[in-house]
Amino acid sequence: MMEQQSSRFERGTDGPKVIVTGVDGSDSSLRAAAYASGLARRQGALLAIVYVQPVLAAGAALGAPVADTTEEIAEELVAQIRDAMERIKGIFDIRWEFHTFRGDPYNGLVRAADDLKADAVVVGASEQAGHRIIGSVAVRLVKAGRWPVTVVP
pLDDT digits (tens, 9 = 90+) for 79-103: 777 676 666 555 567 888 888 888 8
Any domain includes 10: no
- Positive or negative: CA dihedral 14, 44, 136, 141: negative
Q: For the chain, what percentages of helix, strand and coil (3-state, to nearest 5) are there?
A: 45, 20, 35
Any domain includes 11: no
Any domain includes 88: yes
The pLDDT value recorded for residue 6 is 40
Any domain includes 2: no
pLDDT tens per residue across span 2-20: 444 443 445 545 667 999 9
DSSP label at residue 45: P
How sure is the predictor about 122, in pLDDT bands with cuts at 50, 70 and 90? Answer: very high
Query: Interhelix angle for 66-89 vs 27-43, to 10°?
Result: 40
Any domain includes 130: yes
**Rounded CA gap, 131 and 122, in Å?**
18
Any domain includes 1: no
pTM > 0.85: no
Instruction: Identify which has the larger pLDDT, 63 or 39.
Output: 39
Q: What's phi and psi for 124, nearest 5 deg? A: -85, 155
Q: What is the CATH number of the domain that holds 108?
A: 3.40.50.620
Coil, helix or strand at residue 72:
helix
The pLDDT value recorded for residue 9 is 45
Structural domains of the chain, count: 1
The pLDDT value recorded for residue 3 is 44
Domain extent for 74: 18-151
Angle at Cα 25 formed by Cα 20 and Cα 29, nearest 5°? 45
**Rounded CA gap, 139 and 124, in Å?**
11
